[in-house]
Structure 1
């Protein structure tokens, strides 16, 4: 059984104050008690006892019984108190979630306005984006949506997240855009098999890339390490920087809007592309 001090600390984490916790534990003994008796046993001063008992009565934690001489108090069934607290917590939680959604719905309109024209500001040549993966992927998808003719990418497959990305890429190809991608021939990703996540095999890699290829993406595989870099229309370069030694929220990406630099990176892409293997050629080596 927990000691009194431990029970008090648990009650405090549930929202009870120190004196309220002491009074509550005394009342839990189930006796019919006067304010004086409760004060003496809980070691809570009389001035505070009356306010606490009044609050407990209003909240439905205990009954106030009037006798010929004094008021006395008795706690109700703790199960009933638990049910009441649980209802209160859920109601309070739902209220906060509703407020949270309403507030961020309004805030998002401000964010969207700022976000819609930030790609058109020529004075911003280099951007460093820090934060969780989802935030950085969102920025990457924005760049993809704004691409007009060609996207050249070098990827490590584990970095791809992408039902939404697949849709954006498919739409880009339908509009006549060209996507050429070099994937590092690595099995450092997981696949879902029979409802369980497990390590990928060479067959899984070929299957995934064949699916990309059927959608219109041109693909090569590299057996040497390649950087995570995407070049949009030979004007914008997106560099994904990751480091297993630091927390995810401190990872960063760099966006460089400079045609000359983009052209140099396109030359690097061509170097790896020419040395890469097609999906069929890679399959024969497995």
Structure 2
């Protein structure tokens, strides 16, 4: 190969390398800046295909919504109750120039500085609130205030927008957990005793009312039964009287037969009766004539 051809190949390779180093792509989920000899010459490069000088350097950062888990820390409430709080931060690069100048483009450095500011904010907010407020009562309000206050400094100093700050877990210190659980158990037992007492009281009231209603129902039933029985006896007496008035002799005969049947039902019965008494009137004469 001639010297001219060799030089041409070298020139082609160098040209390709320069072209390769001059083309770069920024995706829609990235933020990018351009540096020349360590000096920023272009910030917040838009997504797409771009060209640069071969010696220029392009630094790209994740522009999506990121999550930073904070290390659990201890905070005191206004009653001086110590709590161990585990939280996380949702953040996103908003001003890439400020972000690079403040953190050097290092995500871990950004999260560390952001976490420190959030910890200070949580410490201040917890110190102004009661245990009930931070655990359940006003937690949403607390998180909103912290997010708003932290976001101002984060945007100004770090170029970061804090989207949300949330508490994952709030615990008592290990040494206090046992006493807290014992107190909670005592409170629940007290509530249980109150509920049982109220239930017993209501049961007695309901039982007394049921007994009263039963007594009233039984009395009404007995009254109605006696009235019906009296009506029946009256009707029976009226029927007997009517039957007797139609044929008194036949009525006397039937009554005598019933008396004989009842009197002579037992084989071992012994009766001492005057043979001339009216009891044997129909035995002597079917017509009952003596």
TM-score range, shorter chain: under 0.3
The structure that has the greater radius of gyration is 2
Higher helix content, 1 or 2 = 2
Q: Give the structure-1-normalised TM-score.
A: 0.22
The one of the two structures with greater contact order (alpha-carbon pairs below 8 A, sep at least 6) is 1
Instruction: Report the TM-score, using the length of structure 2 for normalisation.
Output: 0.21
